[in-house]
Amino acid sequence: MAQHSSPPPGETRRWLDEPRNVTKVVWTLVAVCALLFLGDLLYEKHPHFAVEYLFGFYAIYGFVGSVGLVLAAKWMRKILMRDEDYYDRDR
pLDDT in tens, 36-65: 999 999 999 999 999 999 999 999 999 999
Domains of the chain, by residue range, sit at: 1-43, 45-91
Q: Which residues contact 13 (CB under 8 A, 6 or more apart)?
A: 4, 7
Residue 23 has pLDDT above 70, yes or no: yes
Helix (H) or strand (E) holding 40: none
Distance separating alpha carbons of residues 66 and 55, to the nearest angstrom: 19
pTM: 0.65
3-21 pLDDT, tens digit per residue, is 666 777 778 888 989 999 9
Q: Are 7 and 13 within 8 A, CB to CB?
A: yes
* E strand segments, the chain: none
Q: What is the sign, positive or negative, of the torsion defined by CA atoms of 37, 43, 44, 48?
A: negative
